[in-house]
Chains A and B, each alone.
Chain A
Amino acid sequence: QVQLVESGGDVVQPGRSLRLSCAASGFTFSAYGMHWVRQAPGKGLEWVALISYDANNKEYADSVQGRFTISRDNSQKMLYLQMSSLRTEDTALYFCARWNGDDSRGAVDMWGQGTMVTVSS
């Protein structure tokens, strides 16, 4: 079955760390760039980070630069997001997403269901 399944969401205190995982199945994971996108409660979609198919290129939104690290394991078909120094404003539903195409003429053609991260004292 072609799908992305996120896990790892939790309730954590500000300043703590958390790692999200995304398991891919049903497609050639190593051929696609992958992204994390989040949605804060009552807000719209916000791009968080990307990693190229071979992990040679990584980019981050300004809001998470220096605190979050995206990585992947192509042999296990897994995508990760290591989040540190978490802030209350990082509270959101985090989606794993597959990017199909090049940077300017591609799109997210597959999304996971999301995993919820709540940062609260």
Chain B
Amino acid sequence: DIQMTQSPSSLSASVGDRVTISCRASQTISTSLNWYQHKPGKAPKLLIYVASNLQSGVPSRFSGSGSGTDFTLTISSLQPEDFATYYCQHSYRAFGGGTKVEIK
């Protein structure tokens, strides 16, 4: 089975910071990689699909890149509403462990 590893598991950042989250697959997965945002008590939200495609309605400060085994989610300028946990996902089976973005 393909395993997805995210790093870091948590980070502290300030409003306006550029934030990058990494996701590594245990074997090559082409661009079969999605990113979700999850806030406590709310439904997760799709941000990026197929590695780099921005889901409709998601702010353009979110972007995704990568292919093969290494992927990155970038938030260009962190906003107060972006403090949440972010997950990568390969296909439907494999989620990464999550990256919690906290206020510095």
Contact = CB atoms under 8 A, between A and B. Distances in A.
Contact of A107 (B34, B42, B97, B98): B34
Contacts of A95: 43-44
Contacts of B96: 44
A109 B55 contact: yes
Given A104-B30, A111-B45, 9 more contacts: A44-B85, A45-B95, A45-B98, A99-B92, A103-B92, A105-B31, A107-B55, A109-B46, A111-B43
Interface residues on chain B, size class: 20 to 34
Nearest to B32: A104
13 contacts: A44-B87, A45-B36, A45-B95, A47-B93, A50-B92, A101-B49, A107-B46, A107-B49, A108-B34, A111-B44, A112-B43, A113-B42, A114-B43
B91 interface: yes
* 10 closest residue pairs by CB, A with B: A111-B43, A107-B49, A107-B34, A44-B98, A45-B95, A104-B32, A44-B97, A109-B46, A111-B44, A47-B93
A44 B98 CA distance: 6
A29 to B, nearest CB: 17
B84 interface: no
B72 interface: no
Contacts of A114: 43
A121 B97 CA distance: 29
B89 interface: yes
Interface of A: 35, 44-47, 50, 61, 95, 99, 101, 103-109, 111-114
Interface string B22-51: 000000001110101010001111100110
Contacts of B98: 44-45
B19 interface: no
Contacts of B93: 47, 61
